[in-house]
Structure 1
Amino acid sequence: MESLKIYVNGAEYEIPYGSTLEEIAKDYSKKLGKVIIGAKIDNNIIELFRPITKSGEVSFIHLEHQDGMRIYQRGLFFILHAAARKVFRNYTLKILHTIGHGVYCEIRDDGKTIELTEEDVRNIENEMREWVEKDYRFKKNELPKGQAIDLFASVSMVDKVKLLKYRKKKTVKVYEADGHFDYFYGYMPPSTGYLKWFKLVKYDQGFVLLLPIVKGEEITVPDFKPFPKLSSVFLEYSRWLEIMDIDNVGDLNEIIARGERAVTDLIILAEALHEKKIAMISEEIKNRKQVRLVLIAGPSSSGKTTFSKRLMVQLKASGFKPITISLDDYFVDREKTPRDEEGKYDFEALEAIDVELFNKNLVDLFDGKEVELPKFNFVLG
């Protein structure tokens, strides 16, 4: 039988052609005291249960790595979906958004959210833990697209049917464990026995799936800390999607497939919802009477400038005379701009902003003084 050579941290291993890396990973896991959940061969991610067909340099993916946590999370989603289908046979699981160190989920019946009880949530978690205890092996099957669509249609996974309908590739990689099938764009752990660390907590109408935190050799599941304001924003976004009849990516694909008119109508509706919200914010500012400063925060290219201009229009319609002040105009001179680890200019660093000038300008404005605002030249720096 043909053998292959793989190299891990300088050590050479000879393995049979078509064998996997799982046993070697378990040995390294014991030596390092860390959970290994995936691997890279010649810098390409592979699953620990994938047969190896070439020699190469191998590095292992630990749970604490970003790629490792993504693999772990997909595995949890798989068993969560399987557990929810058993507990709520005729209902649909919706994985909605992150909240704290977890993910908020709901159970729905024909699009309507079902109010869960503590017992409901406990039943789902118990079913998930049974999956972990039984340590079912994950299998990856490559199916013709039509066969995969028929498979998901047979178990009423309508979202997967819609998603695969517009897939250009002729084949689909479907994961299976103990008769449960699912489709993920990414990699999975070897078995459900790896998924020991999680917790389900009832929250709002649904529940939160809490994910583990890894610090060295210690793996813990943190207590749930609610973020009601942030959660309300995410839920509002979800309700907007319901208004637009977009429950999943497949729904969006179907709108696009209907042609330019349908896409234009969708954009107009999205803009109307956004404008309505901005008008509500403007009205809230007006009702508060004494508001003198509105702060808008967000990462680069998130739409802060566009949002501020639209809010300014609504405020003018309410009788105000607002002005916008952009932090982009308070960047320090280029030669004073800090650099990151790669030696590139780091415009996200606080030190890239002339905070002293910004604070002085704000204080002067609050004191009723006239201020000449700076204008940063991005070409000259």
Structure 2
Amino acid sequence: MDCTRGFVYYETSRGCPYRCSFCMSALDDNVRSFSMARIESDLLWLLENETAKIKLVDRTFNYDPKRALRLFKFILKHNRCSHIHFEIGAHLLNNETLNFLKQVPEDMFQFEIGVQSVLPETLKRIQRNAPLEQLEKNVRFLLKHTKIHLHLDLIAGLPGETFTQMLNGIDHVMDLDPQHLQIETVKLLPGAPLRLQAQELGLQFDPNPPYRTVSTPDMDFNALERVRGISRLLDITWNSNRGKRFIAQLKQHYGSMAHGLAALEQFWHNEGLLRFPLSQKEIYEQLARFIQVAIPESLQEAATETLCRDFALSERIILSKAPSFFNVDLCEAEQLWVKQKVNKLRESLKGQGVKLQFFAAWFHCGENNGEIEQRRIHLFFYLTGTGKKMRIVEQIINTAEIINISDAYDQDVLKADQ
């Protein structure tokens, strides 16, 4: 079996100690674990065979904090190159475990953490016993002190939650600044307590798999579809590390990131963009169009420049194919500065097997009238080596400084001639 490609799904336990009413595990709160000897033997085989990605599908991997810490330590000791995905209860992480997780290298662990809702009444109605305050405290610790990738979950269509409250929940979670936010519409699985209560609670759902809720007394079909659209937009932007600065900046333009995402979803819907996949370049081009029609004119320039930086820091921009929203017409002094910087870096990389490519564009320095002295140059270096991920380095300088350097150089030349 070739373990170096794709996912290996592995289960160390079955069942869950919690009784969330949307989950089949609510029917039985007993947790059954394989023996530690069996688990460690299996994991060792997977790790020694350099399995690329291992997804542990336990409902709550750290239901027993002592057991979880032992396995975290075992994996860290024996892992060479595998990426491990865990579904955990963040509120269950104790201080000993949190402090241990500080030493986990980047790209080794990913934690999926179910927030589900930030409304206490909704959490109570679905019998979810996970103290939100402790969960958030531990999430903040993980984001600040560890290199673990955090994937947080929200569920739309739960009892008692309106569209506006859903947007507030998105803002609440995004204020934590996770690497990934997944929003799913609640599914009424056969036999799950919430499905048995569907008629009583007024929940309408598709009787065919995956049994997705289509309307509730608090959110009609259109509202739930809008949430699904927002989820899709998060997937192609924030969750894909694409346009993150721009998405974060929506808070400035709309008063909240979620309301900005709702406006973006409306634009995407009106343009028919949710119906088919888009390339990365097409996504950025549509975001640039959104700026022109949905953001106040006085803020459009700053928003566009944020978008430009996001794009140039996510993939190599080829000058001849650069989107029209980039300013690429550099003056002679700017071109000379770029050439000098490129030549200097190229010289330093000789013999290292690194390929250097670059792209330069100019941006405004705050409020100005577009005068050349009030510009700044952003120079992006794209460095690639055999078998290595592309590295992007950005250098920034104000054009006024470039002109001063150029003038000083000219003066030195004149003095030398005299």
TM-score (normalised: structure 2): 0.31
Structure whose residues are more often helix by fraction: 2
Higher relative contact order (CA 8 A, sep 6+): 1
